[in-house]
Structure 1
Amino acid sequence: MAEQVRVDEVVTNIMYGLAQVIAEEAKTEQERMNEAKAVLYMTLSHMQMYVEETALSTNVDCSAEWVRLYLATMVIRGCTEMTVESYRQEYTTFFHTLKKAIPDITTGDIRGYLAHCKLVRHNKDVTINNKTRMLRGLFTWLTEEDYIDRNPMLRIKDNKVEHRVKEVFSDEHITIIKDAAVRHGPRSIAIVDFLHRTGVRISEMVALDRSDIDFQDRQCIVYGKGRKERPVYFSGDAAVHLRDYLESRTDNNPALFVGIRKPFNRLTDDAVRLILREIRDMDDRLAGIAINPHKWRRQFVTELLEKDVPLTLVADLAGHKNLNTTKDNYGNYNRNKAREAHRKFVTG
């Protein structure tokens, strides 16, 4: 009887043999090893060292039901419709690619799928880690609920992602953007000011209705990740521009931000991103500058840190469940402090 050979062992042995063969001066050794490893997993993950039946398992329908049940538990836990849908799409892609029932899926299969996403679909490491997190959640639940005996995700690790300090706007760029937004129209400057002064997520903003806005206290309630409710506050200039925009409207749509043409539908995430790109294209001085909703959110957090607002309070205002997410903005905070120090003590 032939002995089954684990794909992990075969790949490891080949990796050692290829270490000297794949030497390329243009890349670091770690980069070359990672790419070779990914290629090998993609090539060999669907193979075994013995002949096996390749017909689809009779558990395929059962697998679909298990996925449906897991997605239902996500809804019960309070995950948003958008989050559940993104998980559903990932699982659909995963099972369509593997063409295996859940009980038959191995660690090698999953590594092969992730390698395929990296090398064929050219997904970035951050995207690969997101896919890994989604699969880990499903298989952990399947194991805990005793649908499967072993969790094939236990030996799957996240990719190391290079941490880069993400840029925020300069004071000059903020002025140019807002001047362009004013020319673009009352809705545009209202959107820009609201994003800048509240730090809300784009999904939170487009879900707001007119009735949600309290102009007297300059605040509103949004529902963040996990449907967690939190108050957000906006400045006087944001209030002025928002009121001007609302008073200019002639539609009856309850949404806070709507299209400018009939039937005046509620704006979507993509529609807001398009508006921001149109604003950027109005001034050549903004060429090459990213003006997206999340950058305004990062700007909001950075400005609070620069004003020495306590980290925990900044996290609360931004709706960050994890303080590390807030700390990611320290790079911009420290960079700006260093620039101020240079101007003050060096250049005078």
Structure 2
Amino acid sequence: MSNLNEEASIKLLGKLTLLLPILEQNLSLQLEVKKIIDETLYDYEVQSKCTDLITSDIEEKATIYLACKKLEGLSLKTLDNYRLFLNKLDQFFTKPCSTIETMDLRMFLALMGKGKQATTVNGYITMLKGFFGWLQSEEYIFKNPAFKLKQTKVPRVILQPYKADNLEKLREACRTEKEKCLFEILDSTACRISELDNIKLEDINWQERSIKVFGKGSKERIVYFSTKAKLHMQEYISSRVGESEWLFISDKGMHQHIKVRALQLILSKIKKRSGVNERVHCHKFRRTRATILLNSGMRIEGVQGILGHTTPSTTQIYAQLSQENLRNEYRKLVM
């Protein structure tokens, strides 16, 4: 079978898969349909009518790919990032996925990566490997052009937590109970900002000082808050007018669910009042709490559970032992 016959076979199968969802769910049926198409085309020689009219089929494949990723539990934010990236891939290429080669992808990366950091380009490579690896596993293509792409080695840099005095300046700069509530929860729970806006009152266990949160991929975990956070949370809730199922609500709407951006703006206002010069953002509270827990003697596995990380290696990027604690750990083992 010629390359064009094979390309026609794959495109026909792709069109039929979009038309008949049962094919997407049944791999053996897909293979059977492709076999029938190949047998039908065997006595024919497919020719390109005009090479200028060859168009990309990335959009239709990307639609199926994203649907599969959604079923796997990827967050909406991650799916949106994949969608934007695949749209750019579709705009770059004017030929089918089956004809894209490794050098083509390198040219695409050269354009996309211009002026970008190595970590960003590595993210592009990861998405390309994921997409074309899926195309190959689903037998839309027979050769994965992204397989040979190599990621750039990036030096591991451990980002610093908040300085103790700056943390206290930020605390003192909080004025409203809402600000104090947000600050103390960020400081004590090590939650992601995207986890805070989804907290409902029913998720809070006041006796155990714990909250059930839903992290990346809708993974559920329990985090714990301080006594100071508890007091400000209760004060904030009691100061609100009316009832709401959410912990954080909008000041403008009628007890509407607050958005992440609104929480970030609250922290921005606190920073302006505090006079703190270092960069202030929500994720840095996570890093600070992780470092404090590690330096207080909690094992890396415990910190990993608090942060909701899949592997300890991710946790190590967030937290670092102080030089004093390293010295004490060494002296425990070496006399």
Specify the TM-score bucket, using the shorter chain as the normaliser.
Answer: 0.7 to 0.9
**What aligned pairs does 1:189-204 form with structure 2 within 5 A after superposition?**
189-204=180-195
Letter in 2 for 1:74: K
Partner secondary structure for residue 95 of structure 1: helix
Deviations 1:250-284 (A, max 9, x none): 25442221221124432222222222121111122
Instruction: Tell me, yes or no, if the aligned pair for 1:103 and 1:148 is still in contact at 8 Å.
Output: yes
Match of residue 66, structure 1, among 61, 72, 81: 61
Partner in structure 2 of residue 84 of structure 1 = 79
Instruction: Tell me, yes or no, if the aligned pair for 1:143 and 1:151 is still in contact at 8 Å.
Output: yes
1:336 to partner: Cα distance: 6.5
Partner secondary structure for residue 263 of structure 2: helix
1:100 to partner: Cα distance: 3.5
1:55 aligns with 2:52: yes
1:162 aligns with 2:159: no
CA distance in 2, matches of 1:70, 1:96: 17
Partner in structure 2 of residue 334 of structure 1 = 322
Match of residue 106, structure 1, among 101, 108, 126: 101
Partner in structure 2 of residue 208 of structure 1 = 199
The number of aligned residues is: 280
CA distance in 1, matches of 2:155, 2:53: 39
Letter in 2 for 1:171: A
Instruction: Tell me, yes or no, if the aligned pair for 2:172 and 2:274 is still in contact at 8 Å.
Output: no
1:115 aligns with 2:103: no
Closer, same or farther: CA 261–176 of 1 in aligned 2, 3 Å: same
1:94 aligns with 2:89: yes
Partner secondary structure for residue 55 of structure 1: helix
Partner secondary structure for residue 221 of structure 1: strand
CA distance in 2, matches of 1:318, 1:327: 11
Match of residue 309, structure 1, among 250, 274, 298: 298
Closer, same or farther: CA 127–268 of 1 in aligned 2, 3 Å: farther
Deviations 1:49-81 (A, max 9, x none): xxxx762524x3x43222111111112111122
1:162 to partner: Cα distance: 2.5
Partner in structure 1 of residue 123 of structure 2 = 130
Match of residue 259, structure 2, among 257, 268, 284: 268
Instruction: Tell me, yes or no, if the aligned pair for 2:102 and 2:148 is still in contact at 8 Å.
Output: yes
Partner secondary structure for residue 321 of structure 2: helix
CA distance in 2, matches of 1:206, 1:179: 23
Letter in 1 for 2:263: V
Which range moves more in the overlay, 136-145 or 81-90?
Answer: 81-90
CA distance in 2, matches of 1:294, 1:99: 40
Instruction: Tell me, yes or no, if the aligned pair for 2:211 and 2:224 is still in contact at 8 Å.
Output: yes
CA distance in 1, matches of 2:75, 2:318: 26
1:318 to partner: Cα distance: 0.8
Partner in structure 2 of residue 177 of structure 1 = 170
Closer, same or farther: CA 265–125 of 1 in aligned 2, 3 Å: farther
Closer, same or farther: CA 265–339 of 1 in aligned 2, 3 Å: farther
Letter in 1 for 2:200: D
Partner secondary structure for residue 87 of structure 2: helix
CA distance in 1, matches of 2:124, 2:324: 34
What TM-score, normalized by structure 2, do the two folds share? 0.78
CA distance in 1, matches of 2:327, 2:267: 28
Partner in structure 1 of residue 284 of structure 2 = 295
Partner in structure 2 of residue 235 of structure 1 = 226
1:104 to partner: Cα distance: 2.3
Instruction: Tell me, yes or no, if the aligned pair for 1:70 and 1:138 is still in contact at 8 Å.
Output: yes
Letter in 2 for 1:81: L
Match of residue 318, structure 1, among 298, 303, 307: 307
What TM-score, normalized by structure 1, do the two folds share? 0.75
Gaps of 5+ in 1: 1-52, 342-348
Partner secondary structure for residue 256 of structure 1: coil
1:199 to partner: Cα distance: 0.8
Partner secondary structure for residue 161 of structure 1: coil
Instruction: Tell me, yes or no, if the aligned pair for 2:157 and 2:317 is still in contact at 8 Å.
Output: no
CA RMSD of aligned residues (A): 2.2
Instruction: Tell me, yes or no, if the aligned pair for 1:56 and 1:101 is still in contact at 8 Å.
Output: no
Match of residue 215, structure 2, among 224, 234, 253: 224
Deviations 1:296-336 (A, max 9, x none): 11111111100111111111111010110111235x42357
CA distance in 2, matches of 1:252, 1:308: 41
